[in-house]
Structure 1
């Protein structure tokens, strides 16, 4: 029994050993990967260490894998041709399935073509140039961030600090030039000007670099964007410090090409970068990253004892994640079809002809592009063949490294801290960043530009016209040949310059704008756009079409276009002038209220006031006389009703206001109104077909054409004397009816011609005069603030008085003071008050009257009805005595007779009224209502006479 048992154990042991051997053989299937790096650079060394650690970590965690990466590393030695040669060797002799690298963008451009030809994925973690396109080279995969992704973050920083001009400094390589078009687009989108591009070749000597820096130093711009690799950047910054350009007032912003490798730079280089800003992709903190960093330091020190790196750069983290993605793709695809198909028509003339096509290439490319996992650098996610990163960290070089001052994201812009639940709007505010330490250890934000100490003076053009010497006056000394420029515009400009916190060396260049063939003001403005001059100071109007290619300061004069027109003596000598103070509607309205008020007083007074009684015409006259006599407060009728007195008081107040206003208006018409303009509206000129004038050098002609003036009706003049002559002739005698000009010129004209002319308008709005500077000039906001300082105080009054004299005195003489007729609209409130008061008083009076007399009227009507019935029934009565009658009942046996129906009823009724029990007695005197007219009616009626004919 022991032998069979031992035999079984031996068989099982062999089976397990065979299975383990097969498993071991399966796990060690080689997957060849090539690596092409510049091993002499910090990025190359960092990448090599990260790749080795990534392979170890991946297979330590995935011990049951079917493949294992076998890395073949070659040095490209900082040369694009060498990189291509190394890649070709890997493809031809090693038949690698994937190539990691090359390191630089210029190298990747060569190697990517080999990848397309052999269908071998070329995966680079450090070639960031936007010129590399996955569309043109589909087998090029970048596990790094495209440089164009960071330009918006840089633009946001510049906008946050309010800088208006920047100068990019970049190396003359594919990497350096690739970002420039994207950077220009981002800066132009926020109206940032780039006055100069500084491109430094890789072959530049130290002297050539210094020469370029001194050239930059002579310019005004003090904001520089540096886009270089670490070798070139390590040469630039120490030279900038020597040139004095790392001092207060300068701004240096580094792209991620330098910001990513800050820790790998020499300490002396970092010391020369103090105060610079940088942007780099943000790597979120994690426990895995912290553990990897500690292990990486030990491994790097072991591999490179002479280097003093403190932590891996972002490129090292991307290299680590890249290897994990390659290993995962290798596991997914396997090595079952890892051969290369040799070209059928190979000539073997060059090594390129012998490169085969990888059978696994398309599957590997797809597996790599679909890789998605959480790496130590963050989410590994490829879109369009490159890594996606949406967050950039902004660092400030202080001490031995970069201090974080904020973050930038596409959704929220700038922010001090990252918060996944942020709901704020997109920000480009400086307050959303921590305070930075600037070059020269300054905490004050540089304004971004300075006047160069050794630079040339600003060449400022000034327009010269003889007819406006008050604005610009140019005089040349015949002995010294020195040109002196003065005038109102110059004084305002100099006043603004003196209020700046820095000096601006400048010189004035006279520019002629008069005579045949001379340049117009628009031509002069365009010269600023062409940078023929640094600024233009003079009587230049701010216009929209000019602002498209230059910048204007704030205006320093009044705005608008008006007309100069003659005035005429309009002293009133009309016999009916006394009717003009009130308009027709006010005359009619006043008359209506006079009549209405008189009628109300009559209604309330005629029953109790004998002065308001009499014949109809007498009472009608009383109404009119009483109302109109209130004008002189001389009515003789005395009112008695309290409501009448209330109405009279209100009406007297209205009359007082009316008469006072009438008197004042009439006095103004007879004494003050002496001058009237001949033209009051530009439409009058068009309607009458008059000629109009304008200054030959002004833009007003275009304005008149826009207002539909016929070109034949427009006449050009040059001097104020010509204006006077043309206006004195008039439109019908070879002159003009009006001169259309800008307000500052009109004020100057009226200051010299105090009488006979006035200003009408403005008829068109303009922005006034402003100083002209190139588009995006940093001088514009400072000069504008200086102008506000001058115009807000008494200085501007002194300057105006110096060049124009006392303008107010002359302008007042030429002013037109017009007294127009008073309208009903001006007094409708008064008429409303008196109308409501009179109506309410009349309503109250009538209500009281009807309430008091209602019962009395009913009794009178009843007595009148009984009297009429008695008169008709007396024939049925016999006279008993002088005052008594006896009803003859025997004559009224007919029950249907009138006497039985009507007269008997009266007897019954009157008997009860008299309190008499008798039905046959009726006292006629009891029916008397005390009204003498009714008694007279009864006694005079023939039906009341007795048999003897007595009453």
Structure 2
């Protein structure tokens, strides 16, 4: 409107165009004045035209437009001469959408008057699909064909899923393998930047990522697992067979031997033929031996002859019954725990600092890093950084790190099929899902979700899971044995060896 008013001013009232744009200049910018301001306002008040937002017209009594905003919604109609845009709705401010004076119907796709209620369909749509290397979700192999040329061949859970969706929906995929040096955070950002239309892989849905992109319904139920070396060395404790009883209880048992031996010697030495022929020391030793044999459940070479001796023997039997049963139960429990116990038993041991932070390997730019920072270290990046899964496996086997975090499906695949000397500790934690990464508010999100749900309901997703994650090729010899190892009771045999040597010397 201002441009048209200036054009009208300079063309109708002033012949010299340079003078119609003259100003009264001042050193202070706000004191500059347009010489023909009154004439410009008069020209502006008489200017009227149809703009993008409707008719534009002013009056001398107001600084606002007379008629306000105006929009027209047009529908493409097929007519005899071709195609024509027909106005079907008008928007006038103040007000709302309204039917124009000449009412026209809306013709929807398919030449129907009924408005469509279905979603936008992916059928026939070309999609740039980013895929992420990582067995068994995506296995990438270089194959030499009959002509001698090397071609890339894909396989795995994600590849099978893509083929199912392609056959079911009918989209046209353009497959792009994500660079191996990109982190998951960078790959997700690539969708937000428009490098891919969607990304299909083992991408965990997190709140941080949802702020950048959208996600489909779950394509894989996931949790994190602790992966570590199998069968770590356990230190040998030569006195482990004494642990079922506390030190004070052992002292009490030993004192009971001595006390009962003295009492038996006093009671039996005059009436027992096996005792009366020996010296006082011999009588005392035999009496203690008698008490020891009865407490541990084995007989000795003489029997009590007096009523008092038999009554004392009955007390020793009762004591033996409780002590031997308690010792046996506690020893069995201790040996079982010692046999099955590894470096850690679950995520709580990590949180309780049982392993130094610099011995915990964490892959940078993954959901496991987010979990570690939020749940374990309080935002402190004090872990041992890892950049690839292969680096994780290598450093676990080399002993550079003690444990690491890995997604459940991949962890089971690796420990069952690839690295038989790696194992999983404890149960899964940080339960979540994998989803297909899409742009936020993606037009085809509903169509993709409906078809993924259909695959789940028909059991096809479960079939893929069983195919790629529930097979086991590692030898059964790697299964933890239920037998107690020699080193668990080595101290007991060492003690017996010492006793046998002393008995020979005596």
Q: Give the TM bin, normalised by the shorter chain.
A: 0.5 to 0.7
1:77-476 pair list within 5 angstroms: 84=8, 117-118=41-42, 129=53, 139=62, 142-147=65-70, 237=76, 241=78, 278-280=89-91, 388-389=94-95, 391-393=96-98, 401-402=103-104, 440-441=111-112, 443=114, 445=116, 447=118, 449-450=120-121, 457-464=126-133, 468-476=134-142
Residue 272 to residue 451, structure 1, CA distance change in 2 (3 Å):
farther
Is the 8 Å Cα contact of residues 475 and 484 (structure 1) preserved in structure 2? yes
Unpaired segments ≥5 residues, structure 1? 1-79, 90-112, 151-226, 242-266, 282-386, 405-435, 580-624, 633-662, 818-951
- The count of corresponding residues between Structure 1 and Structure 2 is 365
Is the 8 Å Cα contact of residues 221 and 433 (structure 2) preserved in structure 1? yes
Is the 8 Å Cα contact of residues 463 and 510 (structure 1) preserved in structure 2? yes
Q: Tell me the alpha carbon deviations over residues 365-387 of structure 1, each in whole angstroms, 9 at most, x when there is no partner.
A: xxxxxxxxxxxxxxxxxxxxxx6
Instruction: Tell me the CA shift for residue 117 of structure 1.
Output: 2.2
> What's the counterpart of residue 353 of structure 1?
none
Q: Tell me the alpha carbon deviations over residues 59-94 of structure 1, each in whole angstroms, 9 at most, x when there is no partner.
A: xxxxxxxxxxxxxxxxxxxxx699959x979xxxxx
Instruction: Tell me the CA shift for residue 279 of structure 1.
Output: 4.5
Instruction: Tell me the CA shift for residue 388 of structure 1.
Output: 2.8
Q: Distance in 2 between matches of 1:670 and 1:804?
A: 34
Q: Distance in 2 between matches of 1:729 and 1:478?
A: 34
Unpaired segments ≥5 residues, structure 2? 14-36, 247-314, 323-327, 483-506
> What's the counterpart of residue 223 of structure 2?
560
Bigger share in helix? 1
Instruction: Tell me the CA shift for residue 562 of structure 1.
Output: 3.1
Is the 8 Å Cα contact of residues 473 and 485 (structure 1) preserved in structure 2? yes
DSSP-derived class of the 1:490 partner: helix
Higher relative contact order (CA 8 A, sep 6+): 2
Q: Distance in 2 between matches of 1:129 and 1:532?
A: 35
Instruction: Tell me the CA shift for residue 691 of structure 1.
Output: 0.6
> What's the counterpart of residue 384 of structure 2?
714
Q: Distance in 2 between matches of 1:442 and 1:807?
A: 59
Instruction: Tell me the CA shift for residue 489 of structure 1.
Output: 1.3
Is the 8 Å Cα contact of residues 461 and 535 (structure 1) preserved in structure 2? yes
> What's the counterpart of residue 800 of structure 1?
465
> What's the counterpart of residue 534 of structure 1?
197
1:528-607 pair list within 5 angstroms: 528-566=191-229, 574=241
> What's the counterpart of residue 260 of structure 2?
none
Pairing partner for 1:507 from 132, 154, 174 = 174
Residue 665 to residue 128, structure 1, CA distance change in 2 (3 Å):
farther
Query: What's the RMSD between the two structures over aligned residues?
Result: 5.4
Residue 729 to residue 549, structure 1, CA distance change in 2 (3 Å):
closer
User: Is 2:413 the partner of 1:748?
Assistant: yes
Bigger share in strand? 2
Residue 441 to residue 810, structure 1, CA distance change in 2 (3 Å):
farther
DSSP-derived class of the 1:542 partner: coil
DSSP-derived class of the 1:768 partner: strand
> What's the counterpart of residue 425 of structure 2?
759
DSSP-derived class of the 1:791 partner: helix
Q: Distance in 2 between matches of 1:388 and 1:280?
A: 9
Q: Distance in 2 between matches of 1:143 and 1:814?
A: 86
Residue 525 to residue 728, structure 1, CA distance change in 2 (3 Å):
closer
DSSP-derived class of the 1:770 partner: strand
Instruction: Tell me the CA shift for residue 736 of structure 1.
Output: 2.0
Q: TM-score, normalised by structure 1?
A: 0.32
Q: Distance in 1 between matches of 2:481 and 2:371?
A: 26
Instruction: Tell me the CA shift for residue 497 of structure 1.
Output: 3.7
Q: Which one has a bigger Cα radius of gyration?
A: 1
DSSP-derived class of the 2:217 partner: coil
Residue 82 to residue 532, structure 1, CA distance change in 2 (3 Å):
same
Q: Distance in 2 between matches of 1:743 and 1:114?
A: 78
Q: Distance in 1 between matches of 2:183 and 2:393?
A: 24
Instruction: Tell me the CA shift for residue 490 of structure 1.
Output: 1.9
Q: TM-score, normalised by structure 2?
A: 0.55
Instruction: Tell me the CA shift for residue 764 of structure 1.
Output: 3.8
